[in-house]
Structure 1
Amino acid sequence: MTDKIPFGPADIIVGEGVEAINFDGKATSGEQGEGSSQLQAEGGSINITPTFASISSIDYGEGDYDEYSTGVGVTVNIVALKENVKTLKLALAGTQDVVDADSGDVTGLTDAPVGQSNREKGVPVRIHPRNMGDDNSLDYIVYKMAPTENYERPFSLEQGTVNIQLKAYPRDGADASKGANFYYTGSVDPNAPTTP
């Protein structure tokens, strides 16, 4: 891992391939924000919170003798500059697309049916500090994330933003008896297939 002082914004890539949304500081031409590049209004953040179960012993009083890992919670926060279908889809949980019957284009969102899986909507998220250039050694990668929050949209005489909070779910093919089920840092995926 590179020894570098953390500074400045990061590119946050939500999803993969042509469906990816890149909060990369590049203003898209043409459709003004409807493409894969989006602008951030404020810097983003990642929060990784390990969870533990206490192990106590009467011999050592009321404090913990040990703690066992029971999981991890990971959230990513992004404050998008522009409101459009793509950013709203990331900001608002429990939605499904509204599709124009003639063109097949997604024109908006509506509430999802009761019982829809949120995990199935999860996509990978990569956070790459911009001051690192092509060096991925300080990247954060979360295998599967989806929105779980509500969305509030004020209408007033000030700049609005689209607040996005994504929550991590275990990766596809996760193994609870091993680690590396939610995230990793650096340039090497611990779940990448090995070549003999």
Structure 2
Amino acid sequence: MKKTKLLLLLFVVSNFSLAQIELKGTMGINFLSIPSVQDYINENYAPSNAQLGTFSSAVIFTGEAGTFLSKPFELSVEIPYQIYSYTENVGVGQYELAYNLILPSVMAYYVIWGSGYNVKFGGGAGVRFVNVTESKKWQGTEDSFSSVGFGGLLRIEANTALAENVYANIGADLRYDVNGEPENSNGSTLENFVKGEKVNFNTFALGVKLGISYLIGGSN
């Protein structure tokens, strides 16, 4: 039994050591729809002539590491960091809401290879770590809120060779994250008293990104 387990472990390790590894870094823009937050800001802080629209933009940075289990199939783990903020002078002072999100996901891709390029179709899911900071300068107050959620995404990505094992990539994402109602250290949430409801940060997003990837080992 011990010999069988050892042989299985050696087989797995040897396969991974021969597999091609991909390391990737990207930067992009996500267009976010956060209806509850949009209502909260528009009904409490945004001027009537500067209301938030359906979508707001956020910057997103991503690091990803993957392995090709076979030539057309890749499994990876990515850790994106998304930054969004809203700032407005409300007359009595400055109001600011910062919404930062860490979105780790396990990703699976189907890869179509060509001469000097590849195209990926994939999807994934993972936990979401939400951090929200609300600042009201006229009151001299700043409060932090956090929550843990869950989300998923679909992705299409095109990669073209720049040099041996170095690729430039462009991609598009479709995401939905259930982030819930972040709480502060006292267990309180943001409240939209106009609607009489708690503010949730459930987010639908469309994103575009550019990046560079490097392949290690194996063969293209």
The structure carrying a bigger strand percent of its residues is 2
> TM-score normalised to the size of structure 2?
0.29
